[in-house]
Amino acid sequence: MRVAYVTSHEGFVGGGEYSLFDLMTHLPDDVEPVLLAPGGGELTRRAEQEGVEWHVAPMPPIGWRAPGALWRWRGLLRGIRPDILHANNSRAAFYAGMAGRMGGIPMLFHCRVNRPDPKLDSLLARLSRGVIANSQATASRFGRWSRTPVWAVYNGLDLGFVEQRAPEASRPFGAGRLLLMVARISRLKRHDIALQVFERVARQHPDAHLVLIGEVDDADWRAELGRRQDGMNCADRVHWIGGVGQAELARWYANADVLLLPSDYESFGRVLVEAMAAGVPPVAFAVGGVPEVVEDGVQGLLIAPGDADAMAQAVLRLLGDDALRARMGEEGRRRARAFTIERHVERICEIYRQVTG
């Protein structure tokens, strides 16, 4: 079976691209992946290194340029001859769905965002042979009005890079507590709340540090966060690390005491699984798919969205109770095994067989 994976992003914009890469590079031998992207970037480069064939597929913003782009898609698909088109985001689903209709090729829309799109959702559902949602929260985006099958399939992660890393004998910043946040720097991720939480925590833990890992999506927002940090008494204990590779990320997970996730929305929450696999209990807002990943009071603590005070109290509770933190860490390691890449690939391939059978 030949599957064309379609994305409108050339690089790793967020968790969706990492999940796509993991899927493409862990398929069984009877599924041959081909990647279609609008140009070359980090995603296409790494895919090529893993032996995945890739092609340029035009995906301009949906509008007057779409018909010309779709004309080029016709020739592209004739040459590639895929059995299935697997679209990784909305714009990709539009182009793959329209081209698939013209060429008689079924398209699956892998939806990774739980926020509805009133302008596109109905059309994308009609163009799709089925919708794969990364959580029940995302599946609910399509509601009861859609006659298109919707399958909730949780993201699968290759967790070896965090599971096998032991804490260092000499921890970063000495013996102080380490709070970790892993998220691209955008307004939706709410780093401002992480700063508020840390300011409250730092009053009781003067040796604590906050480490923020992630690429800058919004430079203006990053500058605003820097100004807020400058006004904090604990500003010298806030560390912006930027984007890091897996080895460096595993190092921070191995030495963290708590993971913070104060996002306004999370369709799934990939970093929650990574943290749990490393034995780090998360403290997160109960939004989107987060309650499906973390059981409140078992692997971590979930907080009402936007409540920085309650999040700070939850962090203080964990930092003040080593036994609780250790117990949640062990429960997290067990829970993380529910989200392995092997389980994910097995379920996706079942859907492929269902669609082509």
- Over residues 253-302, the pLDDT tens digits come to 999 999 999 999 899 999 999 999 999 999 999 999 999 999 999 999 99
Regarding predicted confidence, which is higher, 341 or 143?
341
pLDDT recorded at residue 171: 77
Residue whose tokens read 């040796």: 207
Residue 88, both tokens: 């990784």
Give the architecture-level CATH label for domain 2-156+340-356.
3-Layer(aba) Sandwich (3.40)
Q: Which amino acid is at 175?
A: A
The CATH label, of 3.40.50.2000, 3.40.50.1820, 3.50.50.60, 3.40.50.150, for the domain at 160-339 is 3.40.50.2000
Q: What confidence category does residue 92 fall into, taking pLDDT thresholds of 50, 70 and 90?
A: very high
Regarding predicted confidence, which is higher, 170 or 329?
329
Residue 184, both tokens: 């691209």
Q: What confidence category does residue 14 fall into, taking pLDDT thresholds of 50, 70 and 90?
A: confident
pLDDT recorded at residue 194: 98
pTM: 0.93
CATH 3.40.50.2000 domain locations along the chain: 2-156+340-356, 160-339
pLDDT recorded at residue 169: 56
- Over residues 164-216, the pLDDT tens digits come to 766 665 678 877 899 999 999 999 999 999 999 999 999 999 999 999 999 99
How are strands ordered across the β-sheet holding 282-285? 238-242, 209-213, 178-182, 258-261, 282-285, 301-303
Sign, CA torsion 275/277/281/285:
positive
Nearest Cα residue to 62 out of 92, 105, 106, 101: 92
Residue 171, both tokens: 């921890």
- Over residues 131-152, the pLDDT tens digits come to 999 999 999 998 766 789 999 9
* pLDDT greater than 60 at residue 155: yes
pLDDT recorded at residue 147: 86
What is the rounded average pLDDT of the residues 226-241? 97
Q: What confidence category does residue 357 fall into, taking pLDDT thresholds of 50, 70 and 90?
A: confident
- Over residues 30-51, the pLDDT tens digits come to 999 999 999 999 999 999 999 9
